[in-house]
């Protein structure tokens, strides 16, 4: 195999969060489902995630989404999400970017007006509605994962912060939800470093004190995320807005409010009785970008009221490129890449397994 490897990428951002969509250059991965392929990457081929989220190719604030063949015949294509903290089974911003990328690349033919299709994530099937105007993808609405409140207004003492009141929601990962004003924050961009430091201290304290278990998935690891909530204002009948920001990793505050953070917020507002089915919440980031979450319904699952929801946002294409991985570069570690990266310069459709190409549109 050559010491120079090539990957095909489409870079986009949704709400400011950059997602690198890997469209070609990766060999077929073992596994019968997208979830199994994700687990293979996580356990045996983590070099791809590390490469694209580290210098000289990327930074930890970015995300990577690898396109793979879908295992479910209803889905057009599958995708695996990779972030600095690992392999989340779902992400709203990554889904918005991936859905836009498959339309812009032609894997799903683009049609004027509204069109619907299905993607397959590690969490399962995701229904997508795209709005196309004059050939441009102007908006993506995707399903948020069913979300619920695990803990409501608990208290914990955090060194260097003080006593903190928090709730915990599950929306694709467990989120601590805290009122920004109670911690002295106005949610302005110049607070970003202090927000990250404060969130890290709170998350570490919660992790040291307790764990969380999903009602069907069981143990999904320690609580990783924290969502700072600003005041909620009602801007129209059934439409609310709130400044928000999400911490995902030491030193990393998301540029967007995140789709899963918005879903978590919907679950909390429903728990507090302030949302009705059909109501919408726009979360607004430190940079002024926003996602719109819609509360579409709820159901009882054991002890939990589970909130069904959708997330709407827009992704912007930044670049379409081939990147060269030079394994002789002292800044590049190729040891965990050689067994999954194709040595040639094959394009997207050629990089998909031949026996599964029929699942993709012509």
What's the gap between Cα 71 and its chain centre?
21
**Residue 310 token pair:** 């959708």
**Residue 201 token pair:** 């201290």
- Give 355's contacts (C-beta < 8 A, 6+ positions apart): none
Q: Of 91, 93, 285, 298, which residue is the catalytic one?
A: 91
The verdict on whether 359 is a catalytic residue reads no
Task: Return d(Cα 103, Cα 140) in angstroms, integer.
Answer: 11
Beta strand 136-158 with 124-133 is antiparallel
Q: What is the DSSP letter of 354?
A: G
φ/ψ of 100, rounded to 5, equals: -65, -40
Nearest residue to 319 (alpha-carbon basis) of 15, 107, 7, 20: 20
Task: Return d(Cα 217, Cα 48) in angstroms, integer.
Answer: 26
Q: What is the DSSP letter of 357?
A: G
Residue that has been written with the tokens 């999903």 in this structure: 214
Catalytically annotated residues = 91
């Amino acid at each position: 195999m050559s010491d120079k490897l090539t990957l095909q990428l489409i870079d986009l951002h949704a709400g400011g969060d950059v997602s690198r969509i890997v469209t070609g250059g990766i060999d077929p991965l073992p596994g019968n489902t997208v979830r199994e392929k994700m687990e293979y990457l996580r356990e045996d081929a983590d070099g791809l995630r590390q490469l694209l989220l580290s210098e000289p190719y990327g930074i930890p604030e970015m995300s990577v989404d690898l396109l793979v063949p879908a295992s479910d015949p209803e889905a057009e294509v599958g995708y695996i999400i990779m972030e600095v903290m690992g392999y989340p089974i779902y992400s709203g911003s990554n889904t918005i970017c991936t859905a836009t990328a498959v339309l812009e690349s032609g894997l799903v033919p683009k049609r004027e007006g509204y069109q619907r299709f299905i993607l397959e994530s590690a969490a399962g099937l995701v229904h997508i509605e795209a709005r196309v105007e004059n050939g441009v993808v102007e908006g993506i609405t995707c399903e948020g994962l069913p979300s619920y409140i695990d803990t409501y207004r608990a208290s914990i003492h955090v060194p260097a912060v003080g006593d903190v009141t928090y709730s915990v929601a599950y929306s694709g990962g467990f989120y601590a939800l805290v009122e920004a004003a109670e911690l002295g924050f106005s949610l302005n961009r110049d607070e970003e470093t202090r927000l990250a430091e404060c969130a890290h201290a709170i998350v570490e304290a919660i992790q040291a004190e307790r764990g969380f278990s999903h009602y069907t998935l069981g143990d999904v690891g320690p609580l990783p995320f924290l969502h700072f909530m600003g005041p909620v204002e009602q801007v129209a009948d059934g439409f609310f807005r709130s400044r928000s920001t999400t911490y995902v990793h030491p030193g990393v505050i998301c540029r967007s409010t995140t789709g899963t953070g918005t879903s978590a917020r919907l679950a909390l507002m429903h728990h507090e009785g302030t949302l009705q089915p059909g109501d919408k919440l726009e979360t607004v980031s430190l940079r002024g970008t926003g996602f719109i979450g819609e509360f579409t319904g709820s159901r009882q699952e054991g002890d939990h009221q589970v909130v069904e929801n959708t997330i709407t946002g827009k992704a912007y294409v930044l670049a379409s490129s081939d990147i060269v991985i030079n394994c002789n570069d002292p800044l590049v570690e190729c040891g965990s890449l050689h067994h999954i990266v194709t040595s040639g310069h094959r394009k997207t459709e050629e990089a998909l397994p031949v026996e599964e190409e029929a699942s993709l549109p012509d």
